[in-house]
Amino acid sequence: MPETTDPEPLPLDTPRGTGTPPAEALPAPRVPGGAPDRLGTASAASTTDVLRAAESGTAFDGHHPPSADLVSDCVHCGFCLTTCPTYVLWGEEMDSPRGRIHLIGQGLSGEPLSDSMVGHFDNCLGCMACVTACPSGVRYDRLIEDTRAQVERRHQRGTRDRALRAAIFALFPYPKRLRLLRGPLRAYQSLGLQRLVERTGILQRLAPTLATLDSLAPRLRGVPRPPARVRARGERRAVVGMLTGCVQSAFFPDVNSATVRVLAAEGCEVLIPPSQGCCGALSMHNGRREEARRFARQLIDTFERTGMDYFVVNAAGCGSSLKEYGELLADDPEWAGKAAAFTAKVRDLSELLVELGPVARRHPLPMSVAYHDACHLGHAQGVRAQPRALLNGIPELEVRPIAEAEICCGSAGVWNVLNPEPAAELGDRKADAVLATGAELLVTANPGCLMQVAAAVRRRGGVIALAHTAHVLDASIRNLGPSSLLTCPDPPRR
């Protein structure tokens, strides 16, 4: 990790700061247009260069700008630096949380929304590790989401960037469109074309974005879609609605099936309306706020009349956004109350199972697992103890810690598609830490993490099985043994 030259951390009772990093932490001048080198050591830009005047006016308009009060909460202590993936990679102050907060403060002071400023905002993975690390409770999550919404409305991106983003958001938030890809992708995999393309490296040379998508594509399995209603086994303890998700339903339907079986075994009646759509997480995390609101209203409308006690989510990124519906729709008089009521029922799968307490018998799984905290579960939702408690409740299962657990794997929604090279660096770093545990199985709770780490493990020449937390619980409850989980890996393609 890069060393910092920060002053001694300020005590927790220090008065609120200005969002401005220490002068010695600000980058030295560079030649305009300079960029980080291959190793991520940035040619530093001066504050003047970063905030180079543009002719488009001030950075932010009056519609939900980032809060000046939240900016002033930052006392630039530096606790966030070693947990920030981009700062760890590049050592660039403006690609750290406090550096970005400084830029937001400059925007609030009237500086224009320059290409350079937007670049630093775009570089943020939104992993929220800084929120966990901050002793002052700075709401960086709120600041970066409000800033990104301003960027999407007010900044003119380049043609290629606009086209790529348009393609991503015309596909990924739509489960039916994603499912249409399953047939061609299965043929591509089963005929050996994926291995051939990967060996030749032709995609990497001609179309790096397609090469990234190809490397992330999981080995598809034929799994029937769950029915609209699944009865509880034994006494009914709760009625739960369940999000099937977009990427989850298209590429990891086995996770949804395992989730349903676990919930039913624990006394839950599960409601899965087939008409449900996207929760809006990708849109919300990328500043497309109106699109996210539209998805949120549709999902609330689908589930609010079901009579559910809880709404269960098995994808970390989706869960964090669902828990923010109350804030997302707070200024909509018709939907604010509905959104708040809906949010109050949202639970991650592990949260609900711990809250209810186990009733289904756990059978032994004599094996070792490494548990990876998905950022939007551990940092954004603060759900860390519950998954570990569930895993530790399985007889003979050994849970091993992963070094640098706070550092993102580089998936971050679609960040790895928009930024394939640094995402691969972070993925390789995570894969090395995972493989160093010597565990037989990697367990996590997010489809993006499963795809990202699987691709990185292949690049590193390693072999480890991968599974969702629901898979492990399902195997234990059904007494399937370790072999059922060790056949889960996406095998090496070379």
Q: SS3 for 289-328, per residue?
A: HHHHHHHHHHHHHHHCCCCCCEEEECCHHHHHHHCCHHHH
Beta-bridge mates of residue 398: 368
Classified as helix, coil or strand, 208 is helix
Angle value at C-alpha 415, between 176 and 137, nearest 5 degrees? 115
Instruction: Return d(Cα 117, Cα 113) in angstroms, integer.
Output: 6
Beta-bridge mates of residue 371: 443
Strands 367-371 and 346-348: unpaired
DSSP string, 421-458: HHHHHHHHHHHHHHHHTT-SEEEES-HHHHHHHHHHHH
Angle value at C-alpha 287, between 281 and 292, nearest 5 degrees? 40
Instruction: Return d(Cα 421, Cα 209) in angstroms, integer.
Output: 10
The pLDDT of residue 53: 35
Closest CA to 371 of 412, 402, 411: 402
- Residue type at 235? E
Domain 229-354 part of CATH 3.40.50: yes
Residue whose structure tokens are 């937390």: 469
Closest CA to 143 of 94, 108, 178: 108
Instruction: Return d(Cα 51, Cα 395) in angstroms, integer.
Output: 57
> Contact 445/468 with Cβ under 8 angstroms?
yes
Closest CA to 174 of 249, 120, 72, 75: 249
pLDDT in 10s for each residue of the chain, 494 residues: 444 444 343 333 333 455 555 555 554 433 333 333 333 333 333 333 333 333 446 889 888 999 999 999 999 999 999 999 999 999 999 999 999 999 999 999 999 999 999 999 999 999 999 999 999 999 999 999 999 999 999 999 999 999 999 999 998 888 888 888 777 777 766 666 667 767 776 666 666 777 676 666 677 676 778 899 999 999 999 999 999 999 888 888 999 999 999 999 999 999 999 889 999 999 999 999 999 999 999 999 999 889 999 999 999 999 999 999 999 999 999 999 999 999 999 999 999 999 999 999 999 999 999 999 999 999 999 999 999 999 999 999 999 999 999 999 999 989 999 999 999 999 999 999 999 999 999 999 998 899 899 999 988 888 899 999 999 999 999 999 999 998 754 544 44
CATH, domain range 361-486:
3.40.50
CB atoms closer than 10 angstroms to residue 1: 12
Beta-bridge mates of residue 370: 400, 442
| Burial 4-41, CB ≥16 within 10 A → b, else e | bebeeebeeeeeebebbbeeebbbeeeeeeeebeeebe
Burial of 251 per CB tally in 10 Å (0-12, 13-18, 19+): buried
Give the CA radius of gyration of the chain: 23
Query: CA separation (Å) from 129 to 259, 344, 381, 492?
Result: 27, 24, 11, 31
Instruction: Return d(Cα 66, Cα 121) in angstroms, integer.
Output: 13
Q: Phi/psi of residue 155, each to 5°?
A: -110, 135
- Residue type at 28? A
DSSP classification of residue 335: T
Is the fold of 23-154 the same as that of 229-354? no
Strands 268-271 and 229-230: antiparallel
DSSP classification of residue 113: -
Closest CA to 279 of 243, 308, 305: 243
Closest CA to 86 of 120, 132, 114: 120
CATH, domain range 23-154:
1.10.1060
Helix axes 336-343, 289-303, angle to 10 degrees: 70
Threshold 0.95, pTM exceeds: no
CB atoms closer than 10 angstroms to residue 389: 13
Q: Domain boundaries in the chain?
A: 23-154, 159-216, 229-354, 361-486
CB atoms closer than 10 angstroms to residue 171: 13
> Contact 87/81 with Cβ under 8 angstroms?
yes
